[in-house]
Structure 1
Amino acid sequence: MGEASSDDFCHCQGCLGKYSLLRDEENPQMAKFERRLPCFGCGIGWSSFLLGFLCPLLWYYATILYFCNYYKRDPRERPGLAASAIAAAFFTTATVITLSIVLIIWATE
């Protein structure tokens, strides 16, 4: 990025010019991603993934957000939403297999 001009430095009393502003000259849109993610900084995707172990419906909620391209608002959400979608697929598969086995055993008795 090179040298920062004197206009790029913070002029508040606490900093006294020690810190420069973070900006990407090539892509000014990146400045909007400097804010924290929702859900304590983890993002909706990772929060849904972790809380999905307690309530698997959250995996399905995150899967819907993933397929509706919610991550286009903030690309940092994409990995967490994808992980929740994969967890939902595994949970659904495991549930179908378990119920099939239970029904087969119940039908043979």
Structure 2
Amino acid sequence: MDPWEAVFVVIAVIGSVGVALGAMSQDRRRSATQLAAVQRKLDLIMDHLGIAEPVDPDVVRHLEGGRTIHAVRAYRNQTGASLIEAKQAVDRIASTLHLGR
């Protein structure tokens, strides 16, 4: 194999890996978008039916103690939610507890 063929093979492999990684990234974004849409719909259904989301007592304890950051951390540990989702959920919980946060 001459040097130009080797260079061509390396470039082809790098290009193939790049295309594969791009496709995986796009699939991951699409899945995340679909999951977020399903979560929003589920939240609307639960609100409509009057079903309350179970709340970890640690979250409530932290909120009552004025420790919002600790409450967000506890919520994330309980649910695996992102930081933004956890903050929004903790704010909703605080408003239902009438803590005004």
Same fold (TM over 0.5): no
Q: Per residue, is there more helix in 1 or in 2?
A: 2
Bigger relative contact order (CA 8 A; separation at least 6): 1
The TM-score normalised by the length of structure 1 is 0.35
The TM-score normalised by the length of structure 2 is 0.38
